[in-house]
């Protein structure tokens, strides 16, 4: 499978370069699919500052990601997509890029944005009515990316060497399958942790009812040959929707999942997951509250519910203290308020973190964000996260600040 995907990506690269120089203008032909391709360019600059106890120095990371992608026009249902990224360090370079990328920077806190080029996506796609089949390196996001996602917050995102299928119709049925041969993680290909060999199967079936909500069932069988603790089997159900009332809209979601060890995982365990969300959209502000619990066992190591393919930054606080679930599990009670101020969007969230097993309290966190779009192509984001660990907590106090500017063409 790896050889097949590599050959496919090489062919897509050749097609990408050929499309850039082709002058063939024959409507309805194979060549026309390339000459009528869509070419998109994205530039994302980010400054990230991290102040973390137990580190003598603060991290300051100034990075720029340039992204170029090409999508061919369809030819008899077939199409190609290729996407290149390059992450450069500009200015401040005082940070640990993680996973061995910067062995000379370990005195700094982690900012997981390694520099360098990346063939981010390269796949062939076939579409016919409600059916879509893809093969190659691709982005995969299921639902809210709590279990399967692309980690889009980081400059080098997570993608998958996979074959995937999707059926989606106007009646609200959405069926997705994927076989994953390799996970390309955010750490890049220059370090061993950057790629994980897999023999993983993912299945997600959803049904959307207008004005009621969407019910989703899923089954994720992860067989990770490189990180044995990631080999897990998770199955669950999620319901999320909203209801319009006079002068307001109520949003709601509930989810429950069960996970156990499979394949080469050396720990025999079973753990539960649950999440509940409730929001109330008023004229200018939306208050919301939620609760998320990942099961664990404070008497055993490695017996906690984990989400190795998730977009983790979006959950359990932006300070990223709980990218790995504690052995004792995690309960996250959060309340927030978001809204609009002119052309600006703002969001403030407070988290209270405790162990799911035992009576340990991990700490509290306040997150805040302010963003807006300019003209048609530009946006800016200011974001902060302030985590304070309890006296007996194994998690140290952390402050993170971000300034991000994006241009998409």
Domain ranges of the chain: 40-408
For 275-286, write each residue's pLDDT tens digit: 999 999 998 999
Taken in order 12, 16, 21, 24, is the CA torsion positive or negative? Answer: positive
* pLDDT tens digits along 72-96: 988 889 999 999 999 999 999 999 9
Buried b (16+ CB within 10 A) or exposed e, 203-220: bbebebeeeebbbbebeb
Tokens for 322? 């709980």
Largest interatomic CA distance in the chain:
71
Average per-residue pLDDT for the chain: 92
pTM: 0.89
pLDDT digits (tens, 9 = 90+) for 188-220: 999 999 999 999 999 999 999 988 999 999 999
- Give per-residue pLDDT as tens, 143-185: 999 999 999 999 999 999 999 999 999 999 999 999 999 999 9
Which pLDDT value is given to residue 158?
Answer: 98
- Mean pLDDT score, 32-38: 77
pLDDT of residue 14: 44
- Tell me which fold the domain 40-408 belongs to: Porin (2.40.160)
Q: Is the pLDDT of residue 21 over 90?
A: no
Give the pLDDT confidence score for residue 246 in this predicted structure.
85
78-94 and 59-71 beta bridge pairing: antiparallel
Q: Can you tell me the distance from the alpha carbon of 361 to that of 156, in angstroms, rounded to the nearest whole number?
A: 33
Straight-line distance from the first to the last Cα atom of the chain, in angstroms, rounded to the nearest whole number: 35
Per the document, the length of the chain is 409
Q: Quick one: tokens of 82?
A: 């290729």
Q: What is the pLDDT of residues 330-352, one digit of tens each?
A: 999 999 999 999 999 999 999 99
């Amino acid at each position: 499978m790896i050889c097949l995907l590599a050959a496919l990506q090489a062919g897509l690269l050749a097609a990408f370069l050929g499309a850039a120089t082709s002058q063939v203008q024959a409507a309805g032909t194979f060549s026309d699919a390339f000459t009528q391709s869509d070419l998109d360019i994205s530039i994302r600059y980010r400054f990230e500052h991290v102040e973390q106890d137990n580190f003598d120095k603060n991290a300051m990371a100034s990075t720029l990601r340039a992204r170029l992608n090409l999508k061919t026009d369809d030819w008899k249902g077939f199409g190609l997509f290729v996407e290149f990224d390059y992450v450069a360090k500009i200015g401040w370079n005082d940070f640990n890029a993680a996973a061995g990328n910067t062995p000379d920077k370990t005195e700094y806190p982690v900012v997981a944005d390694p520099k360098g080029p990346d063939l981010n996506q390269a796949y062939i796609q076939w579409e016919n009515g409600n059916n879509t089949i893809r093969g190659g390196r691709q982005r995969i996001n299921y639902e809210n990316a709590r279990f399967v996602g692309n980690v889009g917050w980081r400059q080098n995102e997570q993608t998958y060497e996979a074959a995937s299928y999707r059926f989606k119709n106007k009646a609200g049925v959405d069926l997705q399958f994927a076989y994953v041969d390799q996970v390309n993680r955010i750490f890049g290909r220059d370090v061993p942790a950057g790629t994980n060999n897999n023999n993983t199967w993912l299945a997600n079936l959803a049904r959307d009812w207008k004005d009621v909500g969407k019910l989703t069932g899923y089954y994720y069988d992860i067989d990770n040959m490189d990180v044995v603790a990631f080999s897990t089997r998770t199955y669950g159900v999620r319901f999320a929707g909203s209801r319009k009332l006079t002068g307001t809209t109520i949003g709601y979601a509930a989810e429950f999942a069960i996970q156990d060890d499979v394949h080469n995982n050396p720990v025999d365990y079973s753990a539960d997951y649950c999440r509940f969300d409730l929001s109330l959209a008023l004229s200018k502000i939306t208050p919301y509250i939620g609760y998320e619990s990942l099961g664990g066992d404070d008497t055993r190591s490695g017996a906690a519910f984990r989400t190795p393919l998730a977009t983790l930054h979006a959950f359990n606080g932006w300070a990223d203290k709980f990218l790995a679930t504690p052995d004792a599990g995690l309960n996250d009670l959060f309340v927030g308020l978001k809204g609009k101020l002119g052309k600006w969007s703002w969001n403030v969230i407070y988290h209270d973190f405790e162990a799911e097993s035992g009576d340990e309290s991990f700490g509290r966190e306040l997150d805040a964000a302010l963003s807006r779009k300019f003209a048609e192509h530009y946006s800016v984001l200011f974001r902060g996260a302030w985590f304070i660990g309890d006296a007996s907590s194994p998690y140290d106090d952390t402050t993170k600040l971000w300034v991000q500017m994006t241009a998409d063409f």
